């Protein structure tokens, strides 16, 4: 892959992130509901997406872009950029400072490059396949944890009922071994797994834009990425487990036990 693609993704995520930060600080955004009452979109999401798309299409007009806002159907292109202009909108609306811009570039069903940017902390996570994962220019690695007991595990709550019921079952079995957290931004949860702070993270029924960026960052930092039942990860199904290799097998057992 040309370095230009990652560079353009970084520029786009910094621009989108700048828009989010401004709205977050000035608190002058409008909010509307998408599906359930906690599935929201704001003017910050929309403006961030517009800016990101204009930067990416300006540099790579031939690569299709799947952006969260305005997408009803999700086409499965051979190559595409996936754009989540604000991952963690509910956090953003409530002024919980844990959200990010998430961009992924996939080709032939493989993650090629990912960027996740938290504009409040200025944490810029990025990776491209085969070259390792980085936070603000420094190489990052998953944790060296070897036991689920006492590890830091994070789970997400899906909007859709089937996934939510499955999550409740998973929590019942996993809580026998350790405590759990829910942080509300899939891309940052994957990036913190890459950074070695979170030891394992799983969630069901996410969308491609939630995961396309974070997956390659987690993998390049050494995480094992699969479906929560241990099957192959599918970007379009959106069921994900990412964990440090030292606990991966034990965690699959604990979740499905």
Residues lying near ligand IPD in the complex (CB under 6 A) are found at 84, 87-89, 156-159, 184-186, 203, 206, 210
151 binds, among ligand IPD, Ca ion, none (CB under 5 to 8 A by kind): none
- Are 70 and 57 in contact, with CB atoms under 8 Å apart? no
Q: How far apart are CA 79 and CA 63, in angstroms?
A: 7
- Are 51 and 44 in contact, with CB atoms under 8 Å apart? no
Q: How far is the CB of 37 from ligand IPD (least distance, A)?
A: 13
Q: How many CA atoms lie less than 13 Å away from 15 in the CB half-sphere?
A: 18
Q: How far is the CB of 152 from ligand IPD (least distance, A)?
A: 16
Binding site for Ca ion (CB under 5 A): 68, 84, 86-87, 210
239 binds, among Ca ion, ligand IPD, none (CB under 5 to 8 A by kind): none
The token duo for 231 is: 């099957």
- Which one, 87 or 220, has the nearer CB to Ca ion? 87
163 binds, among Ca ion, ligand IPD, none (CB under 5 to 8 A by kind): none
Q: How far is the CB of 106 from Ca ion (least distance, A)?
A: 16
185 binds, among Ca ion, ligand IPD, none (CB under 5 to 8 A by kind): ligand IPD
The token duo for 145 is: 């944890």
Q: Do β-strands 200-203 and 153-155 pair in parallel, antiparallel, or remain unpaired?
A: parallel
- Which one, 55 or 103, has the nearer CB to Ca ion? 103
- Which one, 80 or 247, has the nearer CB to Ca ion? 80
Q: Select from 208, 211, 202, 210 the least CA-distant residue to 240.
A: 202
- Which one, 32 or 147, has the nearer CB to ligand IPD? 32
- Which one, 47 or 250, has the nearer CB to ligand IPD? 47
- Which one, 45 or 199, has the nearer CB to Ca ion? 45
Query: With b meaning 16 or more CB within 10 Å and e meaning fewer, what string describes 27-52?
Result: eebeeeeeeeeeebbbebbbbbbbbb
156 binds, among ligand IPD, Ca ion, none (CB under 5 to 8 A by kind): ligand IPD
Q: How far is the CB of 87 from ligand IPD (least distance, A)?
A: 4
Q: How far is the CB of 23 from Ca ion (least distance, A)?
A: 14
Q: What distances in angstroms separate CA 41 from CA 9, 180, 238, one per listed residue?
A: 22, 27, 20
- Are 114 and 217 in contact, with CB atoms under 8 Å apart? yes
Q: How far is the CB of 204 from ligand IPD (least distance, A)?
A: 9
Q: Helix, strand, or coil here: 30?
A: coil
- Are 49 and 83 in contact, with CB atoms under 8 Å apart? yes
Q: How far apart are CA 208 and CA 210, in angstroms?
A: 5
> Nearest-CB residue to ligand IPD?
186
């Amino acid at each position: 892959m040309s370095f230009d693609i990652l560079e353009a993704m970084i520029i786009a995520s910094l621009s989108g992130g700048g828009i989010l930060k401004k709205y977050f600080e000035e608190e002058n955004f409008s909010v509307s509901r998408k599906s359930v009452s906690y599935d929201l979109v704001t003017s910050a999401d929309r403006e961030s997406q517009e800016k990101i798309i204009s930067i990416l299409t300006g540099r790579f007009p031939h690569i299709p872009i799947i952006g969260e806002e305005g997408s009803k159907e999700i086409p499965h292109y051979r190559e595409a950029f996936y754009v989540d202009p604000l991952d963690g909108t509910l956090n953003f609306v409530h002024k919980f400072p844990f959200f990010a811009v998430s961009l992924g570039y996939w080709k032939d069903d493989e993650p090629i490059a990912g960027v996740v940017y938290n504009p409040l902390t200025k944490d810029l996570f990025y990776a491209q396949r085969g070259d390792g994962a980085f936070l603000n220019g420094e190489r990052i690695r998953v944790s060296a944890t070897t036991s689920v007991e006492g590890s830091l595990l994070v789970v997400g709550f899906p909007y859709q009922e089937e996934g939510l019921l499955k999550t409740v079952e998973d929590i019942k079995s996993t809580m026998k071994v350790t405590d759990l957290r829910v942080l509300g931004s899939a891309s940052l949860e994957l990036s913190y797994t890459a950074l070695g702070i979170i030891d394992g993270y799983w969630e069901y029924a996410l969308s491609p834009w939630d995961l396309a960026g974070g997956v390659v960052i987690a993998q390049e930092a050494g995480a094992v990425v699969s479906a929560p039942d241990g099957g192959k990860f599918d970007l379009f199904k959106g069921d994900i487990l990412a964990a440090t290799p030292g606990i991966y097998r034990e965690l699959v057992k604990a979740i499905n036990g």
